[in-house]
Every structure is written in C-alpha cells, then in structure tokens.
Amino acid sequence: MPTDKMLIKGCYIDGEILDILLSDGVISAVESDIQVDAATIIDANGLCAAPGLVDIHVHLRDPGFTHKEDMISGCLAAAAGGVTSIAAMPNTKPVTDCPEIIQYVLEKAKNTGVHVYPIAAVTKAQQGSELCGFEELRAAGAAAFSDDGRPVEKAAMMLAAMKAADKVGAPIISHCEDMSFAHGIINEGEASKKLGVAGIPNAAETVQAAREAALSLTSGLPVHIAHVSAAQTVAVIRDAKRRGAKITAETCPHYFSLDESLTLSRDADYRMNPPLRTKKDIEAVIDGLRDGTIDAIVTDHAPHTKEEKSDFEKAPNGVVGLETSLAAGITFLVRPGHLLLEELIEKMTIAPARILGINAGTLNVGAPADIVLFNPDESYILDPAKLHSKSYNTPFKGMTLYGVVKYTISSGKIIYKA
C-alpha cells in the first residue's frame, strides 16, 4: 500500500532553498516550490536538510548489556541525533558470531524506525583463534565483519579474514590495538605522567594500522580502519592510500575536538579506547579529514552506566556519541573553517554508506526517504540528563555545541521531532 506523501518546504540544500517530496518511502522530488497535496507538510524555513546520518560504528549493547543500552534506547538516541542508519558492533553477550544473534538484532530493530545493520565478529567469541562462518553470517544479514572492542591479534588470521570478507562481499573493520600495550588507561604522555597512571602509546594503534596497510597492499584486498586517533596513524594511512592500498578510515568527534588534558580531572567520561591524544594529534586528524585520508566520521557510541564510570581507573572505556556527532562536527570542524558543512555531511552520510555498501546517504530522487532537518546556527549547552540514551557518559557535557536536530525522518516517517 502506498504511504502518505510528506512535503518538506523551503529547506537549505547545499546553499539552495528547495522543497523535498517523499512518497512510498523514497525521495520522489527535490525541486523549488513543489505544489502537491501531501498528508504531512513540514515548514523547514531556515533549516538545513541532509541525508539521514549513517553511523557505521555503534555499540548497542543488546543482547547482554541492556542495563547500558538496548536496541530501543539506542535507536531513540540515534533518531535524536539525526542518525537513520547504524551498524551495530558484535561485542555483545553472546557475541554476534552466529546467525541466531544476527537474526535477534534484525528482529528487535524492526520497529525502531532506524535501519540497523548488524556487524558480525571476525573470530568465534572474538577470541582470535577460530574464524567465524562468514558465508552463513553474511546470508543471515551481517553487513560487515569486525572484532571491535578487541583487535585481531595475529596477522595471518587478519589476512584470512580479509579474504573471507571479500569473498562474501562485505567490508572488514579493524580495531587497531597492539595488545602488548594494553595495560594503559589514557594516552601515554603528559597527562599519564601527571596522574601517575599507565598510558597507551600512539604506537599501540599505529603499528597495527601499518600491519593492515601492509596486508591490504600485499593482497589487494580492502580493509577499513576504525577510530583513528593518532597523528602517525593518519600518516600511515595517507601513505598506504598513495601507494594504492584499498584502505579506508574513520575517526570520531572526540578525536578531532578533545585532548588528553581533560583526563586530568580524573573523570572516566573522558576515557575511551583509543584514548584522547594531544593537540598535535587533533590537528593531524583534522588534516586527514580535509585531504581525504580519513573518509568517514562515526561515533563509536559506547554507553556505560554512571556506576560503571564512577571509578576513574577501573571504569570501562567508551563514550556515548549518537546524539552529539552532528553538533560536534559543526562546532569543531565547520565553524572553525576546517570543513564546509557539505563536506562534513558527506563524511557522515554517503562516505560511510559506501564503505558499508548500503543504499543510504543521499538526497537523490529515488533514494530512501531518510532525512535530517537541522539548524546549524542554533547553540545549546549539552546536558547529559537530556540524552535519550540509557547512559550519559558524554565527553561533551557542559560544552556549548552548535547544530540542533529538529526533525529526523526515516523511510518517510518522522522518528524524531525536537
């Protein structure tokens, strides 16, 4: 049955004022002054329209850790952040390493309004010793493969996984961390020295990114590098791309905006893995975004409860991010002039959609009717208590952010309204 038409009037798209007509779950026209009978008309005067954001690195914590987040709360957070497509990491309990868990995720996500793409584990129980059944996982609906939360420690295992992923036509995402460095809790540098705690050196990330680059160059197979945080990792990826490696990379808002000095407060909401680095690393990540070394911006949304985050040294790593990614991008990349708004949107929509190989991330006629309407000039002070996520561990708390999501539309239906 055809769905009711929705007409969005007078929004900015790449500097032009246009109307968008949605019908039957797709974008059916993008023109100036569309005159048509529509069941829903949104006055978008003064708002920008962009494709619904695509976040290919999210921890929904469901199944197994639903005290932190579940499918429903995670998708509410996504909708509030303008995100209409998310890829869910497999480090759940049980781990997403069999078709049953893929089916569980797809089934539970069905009525959330958000498109949820399950990522399957690379190795059984993410233990690094036995490759998962890529074919059956792909057939069940796995959109990608990753052991995120952990690295694939052995290079030969990673190469076998790259081959298996390529065979089933799915991307493979590498959490780069050499586990021989895994005893630290924040960046190894001035802050760790001042606090007297063990640090995580840049090299922990970079050596494994270099390994993945070498594997990609040797095999000619693609690999995607998760959450790039360190200057020398950016350099390694830039070099690998120049030499023709099929390597893509993502970073997260906290790596282009916040540095290790925040951890001096001994507040675990500033702890994640990889950790906040230095101002120099931030500059390098921004350069990487500008020159295309870093293709996409994702959140690595990683909810943990207040209790879990209460002890600075023992707290688990991770921060929430779904509801602040667009604002962080506008505040720290667009307003200072590092990226144009269009470039930011590209890195949060079509670029990650391409990496995942999904039909999303454009406002072309015929594309899915997934749209975010936002005011890039409106600011707010981030109050964690107002987040829709079950958890409030945001490193942007108390900060002034620019960019307010007003409507999120997914498959032609309003799933969030401010």
User: Catalytic residues, which ones?
Assistant: 300
What is the chain's Cα-based Rg?
A: 20
CB neighbour class for 164 (10 Å; exposed up to 12, middle 13-18, buried from 19): buried
Q: Which are the contacts of 8, defined by CB distance < 8 A and separation ≥ 6?
A: 19, 20, 21, 22, 41, 42, 44, 49, 371, 373, 409
CB closer to Zn ion, 49 vs 185 = 185
Choice between 259 and 300, CB closer to Zn ion: 300
Partners of residue 118 on adjacent β-strands = 88
Residue in this structure with the two tokens 């909810």, named with its chain if needed: 303
Per-residue tokens: 115: 């498109």
Q: In sequence order, what are the beta bridge partners of 117? A: 87
Q: In angstroms, rounded to a whole number, what is the distance separating the alpha carbons of residues 176 and 168?
A: 23
In this structure, what token pair is assigned to residue 3? 């769905």
Angle subtended by helix axes 231-242 and 279-291, to nearest 10: 20
Among the listed residues 257, 104, 80, 415, the one whose alpha carbon sits nearest the alpha carbon of residue 88: 104
The Cα 315–Cα 35 span in angstroms is 55
CB 379, min distance to Zn ion, A: 29
The count of other CB atoms within 10 Å of the CB of residue 9 is: 17
* Structure token digits, residue 277: 């680095």
In the numeric block, which tokens belong to residue 33? Answer: 């002054």
Residues lying near Zn ion in the complex (CB under 5 A) = 148, 175, 300
Exposed e or buried b for every residue in 224-249, given b needs 16+ CB within 10 A? bbbbbbbbbbbbbbbebbeeebbbbb
The pair phi, psi for residue 372, each rounded to 5°, is -115, 135
Q: Taking a C-beta distance cutoff of 8 angstroms, is the pair 195, 266 a contact?
A: yes
CA–CA separation, 234 and 223 (whole Å): 15
Q: What's the CA dihedral at 194, 195, 197, 202 to 10 degrees?
A: -50
Q: Looking at the DSSP assignment, which residues form a beta bridge with residue 379?
A: 402
Task: Record the tokens describing residue 61, joined without a space.
Answer: 């914590």
Q: Which candidate, 374, 379, 381, places its Cα nearest to that of 396?
A: 381
Give CA separation, 238 vs 158, 213, 299, in Å. Answer: 21, 10, 22
Scanning the structure block, which residue is given the tokens 């809790």? Answer: 185
| Residue nearest Zn ion, Cβ-based | 175
